[in-house]
A and B are shown apart, each in its own frame.
Chain A
Amino acid sequence: MCTECEDLIDPKLITLDKVITQYQHHKGPLIPVLQQAQEVYGYLPTHVLQHISKGLRIPLARIYGVVTFYAQFRLVPSGRNVINVCLGTACHVRGGAKVLETIEKELKIKDGATTEDRRFTLEVVACIGACGLAPVISINNEVHGRLLPEQIAGILAEYE
């Protein structure tokens, strides 16, 4: 193959095709394939869903139904940093809601939204299991625990 043609092939698509081939003959391949596709692309754009639909011979409507059912899948790209605010019971009673409110005020966005400069995406999660450190947030899977509202601004400043 000439080098020009190689440039035309999207390397992400090659990875996706490998995943589809790997799972094609498995029972119940859809969810693992979607999970890996999201890992490659960061989210699930329409053309990727269409590609998976063809590859696995599953109707696009059914795939869309699955994608919108589970909290893990996202149809729009996230910001550069993803903040998960834990609002499990332990975090709730130790003041998690105040932490969330402070972040919402600081970033001027609500749960599920991304800041205009794409610096942060804010998501509320039910429990990340670090109840001993409640209230906690995690930013890009890095956990910050035993939080007080007044610490928020300083923590957010660490992320570009």
Chain B
Amino acid sequence: MAEKQRILVCAGTGCASSGANKLISTLEAEIKLQGLEESVSIVGTGCQGFCEKGPTLVIEQHQVLYTSVTPDDIAEIVATDIIKGERVERLLFIDEVTKKPVSTLSEIRFFAKQHRIVLQNCGIIDPQKIEEYTARDGYSALQKSLKDMSPDEVVEEVKKSGLRGRGGAGFPTGLKWGFCRGAAGEKKYVICNADEGDPGAFMDRSVLEGDPHSVIEGMLIGAYAIGANEGYVYCRAEYPMAIKHLEIAIKQAEKAGYLGDNILDSGFNFKLNVFAGAGAFVCGEETALMASIEGKRGMPRVRPPFPAVSGLWGKPTNINNVETWSNIPHILRNGSEWYAQMGTEKSKGTKIFALTGKVNNTGLVEVPMGTTLREIIFDIGGGVQNGKTFKAVQIGGPSGGCMPEEMLDTPVDYDSLAQAGAMVGSGGLVIMDETTCMVDIARFFLSFTTKESCGKCTPCREGTKRMYEILDRITKGEGKIEDIDTLEYLALTIKETSLCGLGQTAPNPILATIKYFRHEFEAHILDHKCPAHACSALLSYSIDKEKCKGCGLCAKNCPTTCITGEKKKPYVIKEDDCIKCGTCVDKCKFDAVIRA
């Protein structure tokens, strides 16, 4: 019998939120109706990466991607594409430059420029079926490690690959493993840090949802190398689908003999547990994370002793993040030399970035280290939305920084970004345009870190609050020129005197913003103006009586009731009730609303 044609429907959190599950059930019904059950199978996959155009589906046979698909489109897709073998043009992706529909995946710029290693199964396999993972060489790296290599050889291979931690700090993974392997003690643990708390980063979630076995295989290999027989995946409770897929994958791996006792007759035992976090950003810090597993408040502690010596319940512990673990099977399967060919001299391999904000193609992107920001944002991301002008890219979340246009040719690798005052961090890239106020963004990040500071170190607990208050004052037009110096002074003190990564990096977004966008701070302070028209306290809306035709469109769309008037007569905005959302400006067809 001929192989079944597969229709891959993205069912990751992004597409599920825009209706993918309804799409799958409609598709199933239609395939049944047309009597195609024997020749067509429908696969609900993990994230295909192209969240902006979700829900997406791919006809695997000829690699066609359909975007923004609704249940109403299904009958046409089945009739035209599956039965007749022709394309449904109106659902194809439209190239931003040529404005023409593109029919195959490899021709879409968003995908063409990517290099998918960690994401190679995401969006292609059914993550809830182990046989789809093993059919694509899954667990072969584990077999190779257990049968042909000693634990020391595995550690050496990872060292040679040049892999560095993908959680943010970029510590060499092989070295970290070596420390834990060398630590004294019978009982050791490995932990997967899936407490992805950075706003705007969702690559770890997507890997767990779309390819959970790759993380399990990576952890198995790591545990074998280090000499651990138990592990934990610490996953945010906010990621229910990731937890579910992981639990299914663990059960299947246990049944298949990849987890449990005497794995593949090697004498190696490994038990894997899932721990759902309870919502605390600081638990992404490794000592806080371990405290949380132990059932305590998730507060970081002084290092040394490092977790490699004394970690979970006082035992030697090795913690890596999801993306790091997921790289491991590829390195062992293809060899460290293959891996080290990719990337730059000091940053090897690929990195996944979550491209969000005011960019045309929001989604998940995997590129070799060393790719420039410009390539990622403009070639892959398709540039800034709605024809606006690029202002900045925020990289590395609350620990990173904002970089302006002139820094766009910076290659993304650990060292170049650190030098520029940002960091790879988790890999969130948030694009900002001319309507984003940089002072407001600095304030936004501090409002986040003040809430998430655990309170242990005074500089972090109190210092971030003081910085927030200053920034809040500036956004209201009440700042003083010496505030900028005070901010810099506080920032450096907090960086130097905090115990963990949260406090040490919390001032980064502010320092980088002052460095590159000082003029915006000065405009708020000296001229009481927000150049981006974003800070509501510095804005006022009124209606030009001459231009207003009295159509009432503004009042109809106003989310509050601050616009009043009679038809065909000029309308009036009552300032007290106005929330300054700008809806009226967008809706008015006569340019009658004045924003000042």
Contacts and interface: CB of A to CB of B under 8 A. Distances in A.
B257 interface: no
Interface residues of B, number: 60
Interface in B189-206: 197-202, 205
Given A93-B358, A129-B239, A149-B581, A70 B278 contact: yes
B306 interface: no
B297 A66 contact: yes
Contacts of A29: 295
Contacts of A69: 280, 297-299, 454
B365 interface: no
- Point out which of B18, B239, B358, B394 has the most chain A C-beta atoms below 10 A from its C-beta: B18
Nearest to B282: A69
Interface stretch (A4-12, A75-83, A132-140): A132-140
B356 A150 contact: no
Interface in A31-52: 31-32, 34-35
- Point out which of A34, A89, A101 has the most chain B C-beta atoms below 10 A from its C-beta: A89
Interface string A81-95: 000000111111111
- Point out which of A102, A105, A130 has the most chain B C-beta atoms below 10 A from its C-beta: A130
A126 B281 CA distance: 9
Interface in B248-291: 275-281
B313 A27 contact: yes
B436 A93 contact: yes
Given A31-B292, A94-B358, 19 more contacts: A28-B295, A29-B295, A34-B278, A66-B295, A70-B279, A73-B278, A88-B200, A89-B445, A90-B430, A91-B199, A93-B430, A98-B581, A101-B581, A102-B559, A127-B198, A127-B201, A129-B239, A130-B51, A132-B363
B540 interface: no
B51 A131 contact: yes
B17 A89 contact: no
Contacts of A95: 581
Given A34-B278, A70-B280, A94-B357, A105 B14 contact: no
Contacts of B441: 92-93
Contact of B397 (A28, A89, A131): A89
A132 B394 CA distance: 16
Contacts of A113: none
A71 interface: yes
A133 B18 contact: yes
20 contacts: A28-B294, A29-B295, A58-B295, A70-B279, A72-B279, A73-B278, A89-B199, A89-B397, A90-B356, A90-B430, A93-B432, A95-B581, A105-B560, A128-B13, A129-B202, A129-B205, A131-B356, A132-B356, A149-B581, A150-B558
Contacts of A65: 297
Contacts of B17: 130, 133, 136, 143, 145
Nearest to B432: A93
Contacts of B275: 31-32
* Chain A to chain B: the 6 pairs with minimum beta-carbon distance, closest first: A132-B51, A88-B199, A71-B279, A30-B295, A70-B278, A90-B356
Contacts of B280: 69-71
A126 B444 CA distance: 11
Contacts of B92: none
Interface in B178-218: 197-202, 205
Interface string B423-454: 00000101110001000010011001000101
A64 B432 CA distance: 41
B298 A127 contact: no
B313 to A, nearest CB: 7
A66 B583 CA distance: 43
A16 B313 CA distance: 26
Interface in A14-35: 27-32, 34-35
Contacts of A91: 199
B278 A72 contact: yes
A136 B18 CA distance: 11
B121 interface: no
How many residues of A sit at the interface, in one of the four size bands? 35 or more
B237 interface: yes
Interface string B549-575: 000000001111000000000000000
Nearest to B209: A129
A136 B444 CA distance: 17
B293 interface: yes
Interface in B209-238: 237-238
Contacts of A66: 295-297
B173 interface: no
A60 interface: no
A150 B278 contact: no
B375 interface: no
A13 interface: no
B583 A149 contact: yes
B481 interface: no
Contacts of B452: 126
B276 A35 contact: yes
B428 A89 contact: yes
A109 interface: no
B579 interface: yes
A24 to B, nearest CB: 13
B54 interface: yes
A153 B431 CA distance: 29
A111 to B, nearest CB: 10
B412 interface: no
B544 interface: no
A69 B13 CA distance: 27
Contact of B278 (A71, A98, A143): A71
Contacts of A131: 14, 51, 200, 202, 354, 356-357, 362
B52 interface: yes
B18 A31 contact: no
Contacts of A130: 13-14, 17, 51
Contacts of B293: 28
A68 to B, nearest CB: 9
A79 B397 CA distance: 32
A89 B394 contact: yes
A160 B230 CA distance: 47
Contact of B559 (A87, A93, A133, A152): A152
Nearest to A62: B296
Contacts of B205: 129
Given A66-B295, A101-B579, A132 B279 contact: no
Contacts of B296: 66
Contact of A133 (B51, B199, B299, B558): B51
Interface in A94-152: 94-95, 98, 101-102, 105-106, 125-134, 136, 143, 145, 148-150, 152
